[in-house]
Amino acid sequence: MLEKAQELLKTYFGYSSFRKGQEQAISSVLEGKNTVCVMPTGGGKSIVYQIPALALPGTTLVISPLISLMKDQVDTLLQLGIPAAYINSSLSPQEAEQTMVEAMHGGYKLLYVAPERLESYDFQEMLQHLQVPLVAVDEAHCISQWGHDFRPSYLQIARLMDKLQGNSVVLALTATATPRVREDICATLSIDPINSVLTGFERENLSFSVVKGQDRHAFLKDYVRKNKSEAGIIYAATRKTVDQLYDWLQKEGIDASRYHAGMSDNERANEQDRFLKDQADVMVATSAFGMGIDKSNIRYVVHYQMPKNMESYYQEAGRAGRDGLPSECTVLYSPQDVQIQRFLIDQSAEQVRMSQELEKLQQMVDYCHTEGCLQAFILEYFGDHEAEPCGRCGNCTDTRSSVDVTKEAQMVLSCIIRMGQKFGKSITANVLTGSRNKKVLELGFDNLSTYGILKEQSAKQVTELIEFLISANLIGVEQGTYPTIYVAPAGKDVLTGKQQVFRKEAVQIKQVANDDPLFEELRQLRKTVAEGEHVPPFVIFSDSSLKDMCARLPQNEEEFLQVSGVGQHKLEKYGEVFLKAILEFAAANPERERVLTSSVPPKTKTKPAKKGVNDSHLETYKLHKEGLTVQEIAAKRELAVSTMENHLIQCIQNGMEVDFSNLIPDKFSPDLEKAVAEAGREKLKPIKELLPDEVSYFMIKVFLYKLRKQEKAIVD
Ligand code: ADP
Ligand code: ZN
- Tens of pLDDT, residue by residue over 598-654, are 444 444 444 444 456 677 788 889 999 989 999 898 888 877 777 788 888 888 877
Q: Is the model more confident about 698 or about 638?
A: 698
Ligand 1 pocket member 321 (CB < 6 A): no
Looking at the domain 206-381, which fold is it?
Rossmann fold (3.40.50)
Rounded to 10°, the helix 351-369/336-348 angle is: 160
Residue-wise DSSP of 1-62: -HHHHHHHIIIII--SSPPTTHHHHHHHHHTT--EEEE--TTS-HHHHHHHHHHHSSS-EEE
Ligand 1 pocket member 15 (CB < 6 A): yes
Q: Which helix (H) or strand (E) holds 644?
A: helix 641-653
Ligand 1 pocket member 500 (CB < 6 A): no
How high is the pLDDT of residue 604?
41
Ligand 1 pocket member 41 (CB < 6 A): yes
**Are the beta carbons of 244 and 313 closer than 8 angstroms?**
no
Looking at the domain 615-715, which fold is it?
Arc Repressor Mutant, subunit A (1.10.10)
pLDDT-derived band at 433 (thresholds 50, 70, 90) equals very high
- Asked if pLDDT for residue 99 goes beyond 60, the answer is yes
Looking at the domain 517-588, which fold is it?
DNA polymerase; domain 1 (1.10.150)
- Report the mean per-residue pLDDT for the chain: 88
- Asked if pLDDT for residue 152 goes beyond 90, the answer is no
**Are the beta carbons of 537 and 530 closer than 8 angstroms?**
yes
How high is the pLDDT of residue 602?
44
* Of 160-174, 611-625, 655-669, minimum mean pLDDT range: 611-625
**Are the beta carbons of 203 and 54 closer than 8 angstroms?**
no
Q: Is the model more confident about 485 or about 336?
A: 485
Looking at the domain 2-198, which fold is it?
Rossmann fold (3.40.50)
Q: How large is the average pLDDT for residues 180-203?
A: 90
Residue 498 DSSP symbol: S
22-70 pLDDT tens trace:
999 999 999 999 999 999 888 899 999 999 999 999 999 999 988 878 9
Q: How large is the average pLDDT for residues 435-452?
A: 95
Q: Which of 322, 325, 545, 599 best tests ligand 1's pocket when mutated (most atoms within 8 Å of CB)? A: 322
* Of 92-106, 314-328, 440-454, 693-707, minimum mean pLDDT range: 693-707
CA 284/CA 296 separation, integer angstroms = 17
Q: Which of 46, 49, 54, 543 best tests ligand 1's pocket when mutated (most atoms within 8 Å of CB)? A: 46
Q: Which helix (H) or strand (E) holds 502?
A: strand 502-504
Closest ligand 1 atom, residue 138 Cα? 2
Q: Is the model more confident about 149 or about 380?
A: 380
Ligand 1 pocket member 43 (CB < 6 A): yes
Closest ligand 1 atom, residue 46 Cα? 6
pLDDT-derived band at 591 (thresholds 50, 70, 90) equals confident
Q: Is the model more confident about 119 or about 61?
A: 61
How high is the pLDDT of residue 609?
43
Closest C-alpha to ligand 1, atom 13: 323
Ligand 1 pocket member 46 (CB < 6 A): yes
Cα of 395 vs centre of ligand 2, distance in Å, is 6
Percent of the chain with pLDDT over 90: 52
Fold matches, 206-381 and 517-588: no
CA 311/CA 289 separation, integer angstroms = 15
Cα of 210 vs centre of ligand 1, distance in Å, is 28
Q: Give the CATH architecture of domain 402-504.
A: Orthogonal Bundle (1.10)
Ligand nearest to the CA of 389: 2
Q: How large is the average pLDDT for residues 260-267?
A: 94
How high is the pLDDT of residue 597?
53
Domain ranges of the chain: 2-198, 206-381, 402-504, 517-588, 615-715
Q: Which helix (H) or strand (E) holds 469?
A: helix 459-471
Cα of 713 vs centre of ligand 2, distance in Å, is 31
CA 70/CA 472 separation, integer angstroms = 46
